[in-house]
């Protein structure tokens, strides 16, 4: 729960900073971008570590947080020319489609098995994005 609150706080902070309209310097923009990717990766981890007692509704709610974090990555990437996010966006969309296709009658364990390949793809893509932007 604390991790979820931390992730949501980080996402909100990044969204506020991105919406301020002030143009950040290149190092600041890169730092904000790197923070948004890290927050995204944390939201993926939070989704994939739900326990077996969680409901599919909770799983899909976690996916919504992943989607929001993904949008923050895309928004912050606009200010970082080194950020190559095409593969990330494709992987994120594939994950979203897969989660949306999971029936409400499924168990969380079944959902985790279903999304595992997409989670790997999106984590790999996020890692590549971090590398392309030279995140530390």
Which tokens hold the place of 124? 């790999």
Rounded CA-CA distance 23/8 in Å is 23
pLDDT digits (tens, 9 = 90+) for 26-64: 889 999 999 999 999 999 999 999 988 899 999 999 999
HSE-CB at 34 with a 13 A cutoff on CA atoms is: 14
pTM of the model: 0.78
Q: Which long-range CB contacts under 8 A does 62-67 form with residues at least 24 apart?
A: 63/95, 63/96, 63/99, 65/4, 65/7, 65/8, 65/11, 66/40, 66/92, 66/95, 67/92, 67/96
Q: Are 82 and 70 in contact (CB under 8 A)?
A: no
Q: Are 51 and 107 in contact (CB under 8 A)?
A: no
- Domain range annotation of the chain: 2-132
pLDDT digits (tens, 9 = 90+) for 95-108: 999 999 999 899 99
């Amino acid at each position: 729960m604390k991790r979820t609150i931390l992730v949501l706080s980080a996402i909100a902070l990044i969204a506020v900073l991105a919406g301020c309209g002030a143009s950040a310097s290149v190092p600041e923009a890169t730092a904000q971008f790197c923070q948004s990717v890290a927050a995204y990766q944390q939201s993926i981890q939070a989704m994939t570590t739900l326990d077996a007692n969680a409901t599919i509704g909770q799983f899909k709610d976690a996916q919504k947080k992943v989607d929001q974090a993904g949008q923050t990555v895309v928004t912050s990437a606009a200010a970082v020319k080194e950020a190559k996010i095409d593969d990330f966006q494709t992987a994120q969309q594939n994950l979203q489609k897969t989660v949306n296709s999971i029936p409400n009658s499924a168990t969380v364990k079944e959902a985790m098995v279903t999304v595992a390949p997409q989670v790997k793809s999106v984590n790999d893509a996020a890692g590549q994005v971090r590398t392309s932007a030279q995140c530390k």
